[in-house]
Amino acid sequence: MNKGIVIEGMRKRYGTGDTAVDALKKVDMQVEPGEVVGLIGPSGSGKSTLLKSLGAVIDPSAGRMMLGGEVIYDEGWKAPDLRALRRDKIGFVFQAPYLIPFLDVTDNVALLPMLAGLPNGEARQRALDLLTALDVQHRARAMPSQLSGGEQQRVAIARGLVNRPPVILADEPTAPLDSERAMSVIRILNDMAKKYETAIIVVTHDEKIIPTFKRIYHIRDGVTHEEVGERRGFD
């Protein structure tokens, strides 16, 4: 069984009757643990709706979705506690880091395991380990406003990984960064995917990083297509 992401025949319709809009018409995706795949599509293609469905913040109208080997949606049925599911199974990395401005770097990362019930000391140690792995341990006591854009994004990645979720959703994580920092972020995501056996979907428009994905899904008018052919991937 795929312990990463499995989506089969997902549809999402907004509204009813004549005003109904099908944002997702047919979405099929599979991402294996340890794999980083790209999701590319023009504006209005349904990327955000797909990401929200994957993030368990909106319910699909039909289809089946599994995250980390657990069925989340299945033809109208949904898992009972989506909030806990988001906390334990999904890591989020946004276009902007959206760090909590009143928590320092360590606590921004440690907050999730604390919310999951881990003792404060253990949660902070786990956060420090990740910050060390992402090479921002020297900014552990800094406030988010004192970090550079690249450092903020690395802290955001640490926050996404800290609960060791089987799935990470990254929404244009390199958009605010220059080429060098963008490649650094993609390298980190690839390393982390391998290290923690995490399935990662990266939504992007960034031409520079598209060649780094071994597999890419295109989405257009609510329908996904996997790009055919051998890709270089991240070296």
Partner 1 sequence: MISLAGRDILNTWGKFIFTGIGLGLLIGVTLTMAGVYRGMVDDGKALLDNSGADLWVVQQDTLGPYAESSSINDDLYRSILSMPGVAEAANVTYLTMQVRQGRRDVRAMVVGVVAGSSGKPGWPPYLVAGRQITRSHYEAVADIATGFELGDRIQVRRNQYTVVGLTRRMVSSSGDPMVFIPLKDAQEVQFLKDNDAVLQQRRRTAENPMLNRPGVPGLLDAVIATQSSNPYVNAVLVRIRPGFSAEGIARPIRRWQRLTAYTRSQMEEILIGKLIATSSRQIGMFLVILAIVSAAIVAFIIYTLTMDKIREIAVLKLIGTRNRTIAAMIMQQAVVLGVIGFVVGKVTATFAAPYFPKYVLLMPLDSVTGFFAVLMICVLASLVAIRMALKVDPAEAIGG
Our CB check for partner 1 shows the closer of 110 and 186 to be 110
Q: Is 175 in the site for partner 1 (CB under 8 A)?
A: no
- Residue 143 Cα distances to 48, 102, 107, 121, 168, angstroms: 30, 7, 10, 19, 24
d(CA 220, CA 80): 31
**Distance in Å, CB of 228 to partner 1, minimum:** 27
d(CA 151, CA 105): 10
Q: Is 142 in the site for partner 1 (CB under 8 A)?
A: no
Which of residues 14, 100, 135, 178 is near partner 1 by CB under 8 A? 100
What are the start-end ranges of the E strands in the chain? 5-14, 21-31, 36-40, 62-67, 70-74, 77-78, 90-93, 167-171, 199-203, 215-220, 223-226
**Distance in Å, CB of 148 to partner 1, minimum:** 20
Our CB check for partner 1 shows the closer of 102 and 229 to be 102
Our CB check for partner 1 shows the closer of 8 and 107 to be 107
**Distance in Å, CB of 99 to partner 1, minimum:** 8
Q: Is 94 in the site for partner 1 (CB under 8 A)?
A: yes
Our CB check for partner 1 shows the closer of 76 and 119 to be 119
What secondary structure does DSSP assign to 14-69, as a single string? ES-GGG-EEEEEEEEEEE-TT-EEEEE--TTSSHHHHHHHHTTSS--SEEEEEETT
Which of residues 13, 26, 78, 87 is near partner 1 by CB under 8 A? 87
d(CA 131, CA 109): 9
User: What residue ranges bind partner 1 (CB under 8 A)?
Assistant: 47-49, 51-52, 55, 57-58, 83-88, 92, 94-95, 98, 100-103, 107, 110-112, 114-116, 120, 143, 159, 171
